[in-house]
Amino acid sequence: SIRNFTESQLKFLLSNLIMGIEYIHSNKIIHRDLKPENILFDNKGNAYITDFNISCKKEEINSNNDISGTPIYMAPESIFLREQSYGVDFYSLGIICYECIMGQRPYEGDSRQDIQKLLNENNYNIKDDEGISDLCQSLINGLLDKNPGSRSGSQSGAVELKEHLFFKGFNWELLEKRKYVSPLVDIIRHSKSRNNNLADELFDQEYCNRTEEIDEETQNRYKQIMEHENNVNKKCNSICLYILRN
């Protein structure tokens, strides 16, 4: 299971991811594979979204046979091969939030069929008796809404999440300028020290220091996003949220 985050730590992580999703969606692109393994941190504790291998524009998704993604983080509409839109990223974000604050995923399954059965049988919301504030519950449960039409973010995208009362008083402009002091720094430093051998295994220095080569078509499609993330891709100090797992 993943290390439990405090709500203040979750808020900072979530704010970073919301900003990233907002930028991706503003370029008419759906990420489709948001998960802890695709989150990188710089040495100041700022989080970035990476790995756009299966990202695409909405009109390029063939809902009848497109099963791209990691099943445990896929939205119900992706799992059941229904019409998919930007909301699939918000659902994946909800899974990540649940995992961070609860220390475990809301459900487990090895295949798309396993997840289909679980989603048909249950709703996976945070309950009132689980020690999480009402506002935090509201935000996460809204992201985990199985109905994409009523899911948080379905009306006005990332702006809707930024205006949620969970973020009341949060200075988004300060975050955009990277002037917030990240509450994740100590966790990341501790994890890097505690998992030094694992980090060496997962992140080869030569690999982390190079910019991944991509074909011309992909380069043109994601040019703006890759430029935005260029500094992250070149930082060998970046560490994946995966390493925070026990």
**H/E run at residue 18:** helix 7-26
Query: If 0-12 CB within 10 Å is exposed, 13-18 middle and 19+ buried, where does residue 61 land?
Result: middle
d(CA 163, CA 197): 41
Other Cβ atoms closer than 10 A to 150: 11
Question: Sign of dihedral through CA atoms 63, 64, 70, 76?
Answer: positive
Q: Angle, to 10 degrees, between the axis of helix 87-102 and the axis of helix 7-26?
A: 160
Catalytic residue among 33, 42, 51, 134: 33
Look up 33 and say whether it is catalytic.
yes
User: What would you report as the CA-atom Rg of the chain, rounded to the nearest whole angstrom?
Assistant: 17
Cβ atoms 158, 22 nearer than 8 A: yes
Closest-CA residue to 94 (of 112, 73, 117): 73
d(CA 26, CA 71): 25
Closest-CA residue to 47 (of 120, 96, 108, 91): 96
d(CA 200, CA 23): 31
d(CA 82, CA 80): 6
Q: Catalytic residue numbers?
A: 33
